[in-house]
Structures are given as C-alpha cells and as structure tokens.
Amino acid sequence: MITPGYLLRLMRYHKLSRSIKIGPEDAECLAFVNELRVAAIEGRLRAVFTHPANELAGMVRKGPKGKIIIPAQVALARALGLITGTSDYLFLMAAGSLAIEFKSKTGSMTDGQKDFRDWCLAIGVPHHIVRSAEAGLQILKDAGALV
C-alpha cells in the first residue's frame, strides 16, 4: 500500500527543541501521538484524530492589580468554539467516536474536564482517562480503531 501524500503531510511535525521542557503527562502524550503517526502512515489507524489546542487556555494570566488578561488568540479560540475541558485527543471513526484524556500518575481532572466527560457520556460518546501511551493505544485497539 502506498501512503497517500496528504497523510504524509498531515503526520509530519518538527521535533521539539531540547530547550522545551515537558512534564510526565506531555511525555506520555508525545509517545502516544508518535505511535499514532506511525500507525496512520502504515495504514493501521482506522480513525481521524486531533489534539485540541487546550494549551491556549494556559495563556490566560493575571495582570497588575489581579486583573485577568486574556490574549486575543485565546479570546478568538473561545469565540470559535474552544471548549474548556476538551479531552486531549478526539477520534472520529466510521462507526463512531471517542475521547481520550491523559493524566500523569498523580493527576486529576479539572472541573471543566469532568464537565466535558459528562457531556460525552450523556450523548453516548466513549470517554477514557489514561495514564500512559500504552493504555491509550489499547483503548484504540479495543475500539477497532488501531490494528
């Protein structure tokens, strides 16, 4: 099977600079998504996936006198539909969809993440919390999205 050019372009990324420090949760996410990239290129991933730009929410800060400052790109993202608490990865498959939220070994969900989970479950979208790349990959295998 020849990998389509569009898929090669979509799966391409530039390696992170060594100066970028990542925590345990991001390290697991990076291992997970790198496995997804390989699986997609090899034709083993039977899903479309994305990682919502939740990191934008972290750009909100307090200014002088405690006033909350929301950068323009964050305000625009929210106006265009960025949902607080959206899971780290969203998967679309011919037979449905699912959401995967990564947490570090000691991490817990925020109120927004709990609300998003509840929204998923209320309409029948499977929502999973994982603490390792391997656990995330197993969920996709169990769902038939990864072979």
CATH number at residue 92: 3.40.1350
Give the pLDDT confidence of 106-146 residue by residue, as tens digits.
Answer: 999 999 999 999 999 999 999 999 999 999 999 999 999 99
User: Rounded CA gap, 74 and 59, in Å?
Assistant: 7
Whether 35 and 71 share a structural domain? no
pLDDT band at 14 (very low <50, low <70, confident <90, very high): confident
Whether 95 and 141 share a structural domain? yes
Q: Tokens standing for 129? A: 């919390």
* Structural domain contains residue 13: no
> 0.75 exceeded by the pTM?
yes
pLDDT band at 60 (very low <50, low <70, confident <90, very high): confident
Average pLDDT of span 12-20: 91
Give the per-residue pLDDT at 78: 84
> What's the domain count of the chain?
2
Whether 45 and 96 share a structural domain? yes
User: Rounded CA gap, 39 and 42, in Å?
Assistant: 5
Is 90 exceeded by the pLDDT of residue 59? no
Biggest CA-to-CA distance, the chain:
60
Give the per-residue pLDDT at 95: 92
Whether 47 and 103 share a structural domain? yes
Whether 145 and 119 share a structural domain? yes
* Structural domain contains residue 7: no
Range of the domain at 76: 53-83
Higher per-residue pLDDT: 52 or 70: 52
Give the per-residue pLDDT at 44: 98
User: Rounded CA gap, 98 and 77, in Å?
Assistant: 22
Whether 43 and 64 share a structural domain? no
Give the per-residue pLDDT at 9: 96
Give the pLDDT confidence of 61-109 residue by residue, as tens digits.
Answer: 888 888 888 888 888 888 888 898 999 999 999 999 999 999 999 999 9
* Structural domain contains residue 12: no
